[in-house]
Amino acid sequence: MRKKPAGATDRHLSATSYHGPMQRSLLSMVLVFASLAKAQTATPRNMHTAPSNPEHFPSLFYPEEKQPPVVEGPVMGAPFEARLTVTMSWKKANGDSQGKSESTSRTRDSVGRVRDQSMEMKQRMLGGTGKAYSVHVRDPIAHCQISWEEPRPTDGTAMAVFLCLPRVLAYTAPPGPLWDPSNMPEDTHSGGDEERARALPEQMIEGVRTIGIRSDTSVQAHGDQPAGHSTTEMRYSPELREMMLVEENSFDTGGQTMHMRTALTDLRRVEPDASKFYPPAGYELVDGRTKSNR
C-alpha cells in the first residue's frame, strides 16, 4: 500500500548521493554503490578528478571507464554532527504487533564527506570475532566509499573495504528537496484511488528552517489487496540540504497498520575532525570489487 509521496521525484528518500539524504531504512548501509549512484540523465555541473594519494587510496582500487560517470555533487560548506534514528512499528491483521528502533551517528564535513556509524555493536563482518560498531564513509573528494569496524579486533585482521568510482567524475548540482515547493502537483484520481499533496508551513527543527510536504493516499481494494490509506510527511532543510524528518502512517481495512519515523536529532553545527573519515592505522585496505588487498 505504500506509495511514493505525490510530488516527490524518482530519487528515493535515500542516500543515493554522496551527502546522503534520508532513506526508507538509512541504517542498512551495506557495501553497495547506493550512495555513489550514477545519474546519467542529469546535466553535469563540472568535472572532478580525485587527487592521487596511493598510500591512502591505492590506484588499483579505481575502475577505468571511457565515459566519466555522472554523480550528484556533494553538499559543501554545511558541516554537522547528529543522530539519525529510524523507528518502526506495525500490527498485523491477527493483532500481533512488533516494533524496532535503530540509531546512527551521522557526521558531515565542509567538503561533503559523510560518516555514518552504528550506535549499537553488532556481530563483526570484516575480520575477527565478537561485536563492533560499523562505520561507513562516503568521500566525494577521493570518489570512494569506505567501510570498516571499530574497535579493531584482537583476533584476526582488521579490514577496511573500499568501493571506488573512476578518478574522473561529472558532478551535477547537489540534491535538493524531493519535491518542488513552488509547483505542487494536482490531486490525482484513478480507478477509485486518490492521491493528493499539500505544502506544509515552514517549521524550525533542531534550530534550522524546514519546508514540508504532506501526501495522502487512499487505495481501493484490488484483488487480495484490501482498501487502505496512508499519510507521509517530510521535512527538509534547504540550509543543510538534509531531510530532517520523514513520518509515515498507513492502515488498511484488513486491520494492518504501520508507522515509521526517520528523524535527524541532536544536531550540532561543528566542523568534525578529518581523522573521522579514514580508517585508523593498522587496517588492511581491501578493494570491494575484487576482495583483493593493495
Closest CA to 244 of 22, 7, 5: 22
Q: Quick count: other Cβ atoms within 10 Å of Cβ 264?
A: 25
Q: With contact defined as beta carbons under 8 Å apart, do 45 and 171 qualify?
A: yes
What is the residue-level pLDDT of the chain in tens, covering all 294 positions?
444 444 444 333 333 333 333 333 323 322 223 333 333 344 556 899 999 999 999 999 999 888 899 999 999 999 999 999 999 999 888 889 999 999 999 999 999 999 999 999 999 999 889 999 999 999 999 999 999 999 999 888 899 999 999 999 999 988 788 777 777 767 777 767 888 889 999 999 999 999 999 999 998 888 888 889 999 999 999 999 999 999 999 988 788 899 999 999 999 999 999 999 999 999 999 999 987 676
Interatomic CA distance for residues 83 and 75, integer angstroms: 18
The secondary element (H helix, E strand) that includes residue 122 is strand 122-123
Interatomic CA distance for residues 86 and 69, integer angstroms: 31
Q: With contact defined as beta carbons under 8 Å apart, do 106 and 114 qualify?
A: yes
User: Residue written as cell 532513506?
Assistant: 23
For residue 175, the 8-state DSSP code is: P
For residue 35, the 8-state DSSP code is: G
Which SS3 state, helix, strand or coil, does residue 61 take?
helix
Q: What is the pLDDT of residue 254?
A: 80
Interatomic CA distance for residues 124 and 38, integer angstroms: 30
Q: What is the pTM of this model?
A: 0.80
Closest CA to 172 of 14, 13, 8, 19: 19
Cell of 42: 542529469
**End-to-end alpha-carbon separation of the chain, Å?**
47
Q: With contact defined as beta carbons under 8 Å apart, do 243 and 234 qualify?
A: yes
